[in-house]
Amino acid sequence: MADSRPVYLRIADDLRRRIDDGSLTVGARIPSRSELKRVYAASDQTVDRAVRVLKAAGYAEGQFGRGVFVADRAPLGTLLRTTGAVDTPFAAEIHTGRGPGPRCGRPPGETALTWEASSGEAPALTWEASSGEAPAPARIAERLGIAAGEPVLCTEYEYLADRRPVQLATSWEPVAVTAGTDVVHPERGPYARRGVRGRLAAIGVRVVRAHELVGSRPATTPEAEALGCTAGQCVTVVERTHFDGDGRAVETSDIVVRADRWRLEYVIPFTS
């Protein structure tokens, strides 16, 4: 039976199969445009489209002036997401993955990063944040239970481990919750660089639960530049919302990680 797939998909699938079976190893150069044109009797546009599909799937990456090469898609680590003892905006614990580590009997933390490195040393985690007041977009207002356009404090985070990109996050908090207090800006003041629970506890707001919705989508160009991937490549997005004891949403955030390099792990305790 004749292959009815478009030629660009056939080229992309053949290259992907060669990468998966090890014929093309990490760091190997993808066949040049002229080679692919000859083998598949395809046009420049068709070959370029096939290579774009490979890049978007995380199988290949371009190196300026050199060509396109097979990308390393081995997971860098795991984001362990449970209820929280670790109170930083990233809420991260890092270990090398050797020995039992914090997975066995560790106190639960909102997010723990398992760094699967061979060096035996935990990487240095750094992050930067910037915030400003803005009107709530409709989708954020819906998550926070407020009217669209109401003022929110929007904070953008970037997280690095050993200077490698790990995670991006954008957080929104209703200004009505924190206005006139010391915790308005997450990156400034006496409670700076604390997590949502710790900061809001300082003004008498007790955060009792969080809700997370996990999905995926193509990376935007700014996200791709920050995370070191290709625009259109698949990223995992966690929509997380914190609630107080009255059921009021006090913060919501979008957490973005590369789907090809990071895994999410959830611990689900059972009660008798």
Average pLDDT of each block of 10 consecutive residues along the chain (272 residues)?
80 92 91 92 92 85 84 74 56 43 37 48 75 96 97 92 84 95 88 85 92 92 87 89 95 91 80 70
**Which pLDDT score, from 0 to 100, does residue 50 have?**
92
Helix (H, G, I), strand (E, B) or coil at 151: strand
Chain-centroid distance, C-alpha 246: 30
Under 8 Å between Cβ of 113 and 152:
no
Q: What is the CA radius of gyration of the chain?
A: 22
**Which pLDDT score, from 0 to 100, does residue 126 have?**
79
Under 8 Å between Cβ of 80 and 103:
yes
Q: Which residues contact 59 (CB under 8 A, 6 or more apart)?
A: 15, 16, 19, 70, 71, 73
Residue 197, H or E segment: helix 196-201
**Which pLDDT score, from 0 to 100, does residue 107 have?**
34
Positions of CATH 1.10.10.10 in the chain: 7-70
Q: Residue 13 and residue 17: Cα distance in Å, rounded?
A: 6
In one letter, which amino acid is 239? E
Superfamily of domain 124-260: Chorismate lyase-like (3.40.1410.10)
**Which pLDDT score, from 0 to 100, does residue 4 have?**
76
Q: Which residue has the tokens 């609630």?
A: 243
The CATH code for residues 7-70 is 1.10.10.10
Positions of CATH 3.40.1410.10 in the chain: 124-260
